[in-house]
Amino acid sequence: MFYKVSVSFYKDFIKIKDGEIEIGVMAKPLKGKANSEIIRKIAKHFGISRSNLRIVAGVKSMNKVVEISTQNPKK
């Protein structure tokens, strides 16, 4: 399942509507800290492991596409 994710900074929230996630993070977008917080928050919201999530587009953008896998990743 894929979700469009839009990011805001300096607010802490998560809203999900019609396959889109709007998320606010407090982490600064430096060295992947904001992306890590985004993954952590989405995983917590859905009650899944962070390893089941990955950013497939927009790693360096405020607009991202996140894939949520319901299967365990292969090692």
Tokens at residue 22, please? 């709007």
Cross-strand bridge partners of residue 53: 68
Evaluate if pTM is beyond 0.75.
yes
pLDDT at 73 over 70: no
Which DSSP symbol is given to 52?
Answer: G
Domains identified in the chain and CATH numbers: 2-68 (3.30.1200.10)
Q: pLDDT per residue over 10-63, tens digit each?
A: 888 999 888 899 999 988 888 999 999 999 999 999 999 999 999 999 999 989
Tokens at residue 9, please? 């900074």
pLDDT at residue 23, as a whole number = 92
3-state helix, strand, coil in the chain (%, to 5): 25, 40, 35
Q: Closest Cα to residue 17, out of 31, 4, 35?
A: 4
pLDDT at residue 72, as a whole number = 58
Q: Closest Cα to residue 64, out of 26, 12, 29?
A: 29
